[in-house]
Every structure is written in structure tokens, then in C-alpha cells.
Chains A and B, each alone.
Chain A
Amino acid sequence: MTRFLARRVVFGIIVLWLVATLVFIMYFVAPHDPARLLAGKGATALTLRDVRHRLGLDRPILQQYGSYLWNFLQGNLGYSYFSQEPVTTIIGQDLPVTASVAVGGSVLWLLIGVTSGVLAATRPRSISDRAVTALALFFYSMPTFLLGELFLLLLFFRLHLLGFDFFPGGGYVGLTQDPVQWLRHMILPWFTIALVTASVYSRLTRGSMLDVLGEDYIRTARAKGLRERRVIYRHGLRAALAPVVTQFGIDLGTLLGGIIVTETVFGLPGLGQQIVQAITRQDQPVIIGFVIVASTFIVVANIVVDLLYAVLDPRVRLS
């Protein structure tokens, strides 16, 4: 257990180091001069040298690399070129919005995916199985941003024309400000993220559940006279969830992508919008900080997922 955890942590650190180095190569070794960008078009050679010195760009490349990594280790992500604010402050400000979208979206995503998968697996070849499979394929083919736009067009605007104002047309209200309004503003973004990814999980759960339900211990459970509900959920689903959980770890990167797109569609002032803006402004420290924070989140979440795996399926021994 400890050895397993240690190995995972070491691999996680290697991935993070790889990410940091890749980003460094992309931004500092590539022929690309942030000083020119920062100093503006009309800058004199003197100003340019000054800016370069201030950013430390005139130092040897290895020295730059060292201080770049050292800053990360201290939790210092630098300052925005644009607003001069620390990148950590900017990320901290926008985190609640993104966290609202991410947590609600992924809960809904797993809920829809797993329940529809179980529904399809317990009645194979039935009408509901076929319906779930067809819907899953439909949403699987749907790009996230298109679903969001269609939601806005149909569920917000068309209903609004008909006099029903249940769904707002985007924007964000803080959870602590007004929980009811927060929920109203989050429903469409949550479903946008959830439906597209849930389709994969529905198929995955169905397949895995069909495999598990064919095992001997399920027959034993039935023979003992346990109720069907208990057999399916306590005995079957618990083991069937293992591959689903693994996939969830892999798909966290997809989740982040979905968040960026969803925030853009619904005009939510979160990290996704922040990074799209940072890119149009070429605000390097913000972009780099975002990539590092996102990667750290994914690495940590993957370790948690691996631990969960063992909790769910008692047959798995971590070694």
C-alpha cells in the first residue's frame, strides 16, 4: 500500500516535471520574445534590454530553467503581464466558478452515465437498453459547445419567448450570494458537460455490468435469496464500477476541456474564460500558471482515483 502510493507519487512528480519542462521549452527556448511583447511596439533597444533584464531573460538558459522550477516549488507562479497581479491570486479568484461547474457537472455526469448503464445492463436487448444505447451514441457525437449553444437557443431563448423564464441565458451568481440563483445558473452548464461525457460512461458501465453479472458470486448472492436490488447494487455495481472509476481518472483532462468550452458558451467568469483571454493577450505567466495548476490537479486526482479503485473492488490489492 505504502509502496504503491510512493510509486504513484513519484510517477506523478515525473509527469509534473515533464509538463513544466515542456512548457519551459515552449515559452523560453523557442524563438519567441516576451520582452518585445511586453515592452510594446515602439520600444527602444534600451527599454527592451531593461525589460529583458527585469524578466531575467538575459541570463543563461539553464539558470533560467533552475529559477523557473524553484519558483514553482515555492508556489510562486509569477505575475500577470497584463494586470501585474500574482497569478495565484487570479487563479484563486476564478476558482469558485470553475469548481462549481466542475463538481456539479461531474456528479451529474457519473450519475447519468452509471444509472443509464445499469438500466441497460439489467435488461439487455430491451427497449430501454436500445434507447440508452442510441442516446449514448447521439450525445457521444455531440461537441460540447454545440450542445451548450443548442441549450441556449432552445431551453433559454425559445422558452423565454414563450414566457417561461426558468433557465437564465448564462452568467454567474455566487453560491454564498444566493444559492437558488446559483443553482438556476448552473443547471444548463452542468447538463452541457454531463450529457456529452456521460454517454461514454453509459456504454462502459453497461459492458462492465454485463460481465460482472455473469460471475459466480452473483449467482451465489441470488442463491442465498438476496433481493435483486441488493444483488445488483451491492454485489454487482460495486465491482462493475472499477473500470468506470479508472476511466474517470483518465477523463479529468477532458473535463477541463469541457469546462473551458462551457464557460465560454455560457459567459461564466471562471478559469476557462481567464485562459482564453490570457491567450488573446499573450499573457504568458497566466497561461503557464494555468497549465501547471491544471496538470497538478489531474495528477493528484489520478492518485485518489487509484486509491478509490481498491476501496470499490476488494479483489484489487495495491502492490
Chain B
Amino acid sequence: MSQGLIAEVGAADATEIVGARAIEGRSPWQLAFDRLRHDRVAIASAVVIALVAMMAIFAPVVAHIVGHPRDAQYHTTGLSPAGIPVGPGRRFLLGADELGRDVLVRVFYGARISLLVGVVASSLATAAGVVIGLVAGYFGRIVDTILSRFMDAVLSLPYLVFAIALVSVLGHPSLIVTIGVISFFSFSAVGRIVRGQVLSLREKEFVEAANALGAGPLRIMFVDILPNVLAPVIVYLTLLIPAAIVFEATLSFLGIGVVPPTPSWGSMLAESLDYYEVAWWFVVFPGLALLITTLSFNLLGDSVRDAFDPRYARLFVTKEPSGRTATTAEAEPA
């Protein structure tokens, strides 16, 4: 009798020796990370993102090597006698812009703005969304009604129109305003996801247990419930970054984002709009940088989502981490 009990306890234990290999119990986080590590798309996009980050970090070094400071205008070497920007060549590797500035150097500096705004704005939005979602879901009733209606209203606003109005009323566009505007229009999607999860989590036994042990609402919300909603939050955060990068580029394109002469890929593309007929490089290089960055973040975000959700079948995965063949769990119409 007691023998059987011990055996059962042993089986439930995290580690058990089967043959020569130890089978370890792994947390969902370890599982997700393991799937990511073996996902070629995820690795490739992470490498590209790391390269873009290097561009941002080493922009001054590159400027020093080429000998062209960020905003320096070369009216004699960068522009033809007729005032047309010179194309890619030995002096300007990626060509010059309409003021005779080096496109290569400015594309490198542009990576700073995109990454900074993308990461900071989406982190702020996620943090705000998590707090508001937790509060709305945990307290329920009137608090929930007010916060949810507010989030619905923000979601139904024509956000670009409102962002434009907001920037115009704040007077001068600036980096801080840009980040604030993007965060404000992005938090409610996260907030709604978290709220939905919390609504069901707060009825679980562990919350009841924490309550019985005398934990206050703050402790229950942030220590007990929060870890359980982190997976969808992280997935959403990675997908929010490229959206924030596009948002910043769009604001800068419309002239209400980053202030010139600070280069942003969006503002460079706006400047190039009048020159695409004579200077294709002025459109193509900032455009490529922007597209490759958002594409990598979106691919990584997709992989992160799949890593956390094993039911979701991959289209491009050929090998599973353990060496099994491709998953066939695709929701085939039965």
C-alpha cells in the first residue's frame, strides 16, 4: 500500500530515469524557447534585427569612416551642377539626398529612431495595457465597464486623424510626443486581451487560495495572476513593435513625427517623394531598410506566437525540435 503510494509520488516527480536518459519536466517557457531556438525563420529574423541594432549603435562610426557627418550638406560633391543628387558611387556609397547629404549615413542613423520608437512605444503601451487590463478584469463591475468602454472608444477612433490633431495641438512634433501618441493608440488592444484572460483566471482556485491566505488585491493581481497572462502579452509585444515602427514612419512621413534634420526612414521617404524621378536610391534604400526591419519583426512575432501555442501548425517548419517530422496538426477540414 505504502509502496504503491511512494511509486506514484515518484512518477509525479519532475525527474525520472527512463533507460539511460533523464526526462525532465520543462516549463512552458522552456518549451517555447526551445521551439524558437530550432525555428530557422525565428533565428534568421533575430539575426536581421540584431544587424539593424548594430546599424543603430555604430551609425557614428560609419559616419566617421565615410567622413560624412549625419547632417552635413555637400553642395559641390553631393549635388550635380544642376542641383540633382548624385547617385551611388565611390564618394557616396548609397547616393546623396536632395541637400547633398549622405544617404548611407542617414539610413544608419534612421535605424536609431525606428528601433527606439518601436521598442519604447510598444513597451509603454504593453505596460499600460497590462495594468489597465488587470485592474478591469480583477475588479470587474463598474471599474470594468468604465475601463472597457474607454478602451473600446480608443479602438474605434480614427487613430491617425486623432494623432495628427494631437500633435498639432501640442504645438511642435517631437520624439517624446511621437512615442506618447503611438503608445496611447496601442495600449487598448493589449488591455482587452489581458482583461479577457483575467476574467477567467480570477475565478481559479489559486486566486481563492491567495485570498484566503490574506493577500491583498495588488499582490493577487501582480504576483499571482500576472505570470499567467505573460505569454499572450509577450506575443503581442513582439507584434506591436513593427506596428509602432510603421506608425512612427507614417507620422514622420506626414511631417508630424521626428523633427528634421534628424533622419527617420519615414521623413527620408517623404523628402524623396519629390525626387524619385531623378534619384531612385533616395527612395529605395530607406524604403528597403524600413521594409526589412518590419518584416523581420513580424516574422519573429509569428514565430514567438507559434512557439507559445503548439496547437497552431506551422506552414514553413520542416523539423520539430525533437527530430520528429513536421507536425500535421493543421486543422484539416475533417
Contacts and interface: CB of A to CB of B under 8 A. Distances in A.
A294 B157 CA distance: 9
Interface string B152-167: 0101111111101111
Given A30-B169, A146-B290, A157-B277, A257 B331 contact: no
A203 to B, nearest CB: 10
Contact of A287 (B168, B253, B302, B332): B168
A100 interface: no
Residue among A14, A23, A129, A257 with the highest chain B CB neighbour number at 10 A:
A257
Nearest to A213: B333
Contacts of A276: 164, 254-255
Interface in B280-334: 280, 283-284, 287, 290-291, 294-295, 297-299, 302, 315-316, 330-334
Contacts of B155: 250
A137 B333 contact: no
A268 interface: no
Contacts of A137: 295, 298-299, 302
A38 interface: no
Given A149-B276, A261-B250, A298-B156, A124 B165 contact: no
B332 A124 contact: yes
Contacts of B299: 137
Q: Is the interface of B mostly helix, strand, loop or mixed?
A: helix
Contact of B164 (A125, A157, A279, A295): A279
A294 B158 contact: yes
A143 B160 CA distance: 13
B165 A153 contact: no
Contacts, number: 143
A186 interface: no
A265 interface: yes
Contacts of B242: 141
B158 A150 contact: no
B246 interface: yes
Interface of B: 149, 153, 155-162, 164-169, 171, 242, 246, 249-250, 253-256, 266, 269-270, 272-273, 276-277, 280, 283-284, 287, 290-291, 294-295, 297-299, 302, 315-316, 330-334
Nearest to A302: B156
A153 B290 contact: no
A145 B168 contact: no
Contacts of B290: 143, 146
A18 interface: yes
A298 B168 contact: no
Contact of B294 (A143, A211, A253, A282): A143
A248 to B, nearest CB: 13
B269 A145 contact: yes
11 contacts: A14-B149, A23-B165, A26-B169, A125-B330, A137-B302, A141-B246, A143-B266, A145-B253, A210-B333, A211-B331, A279-B165
A82 to B, nearest CB: 14
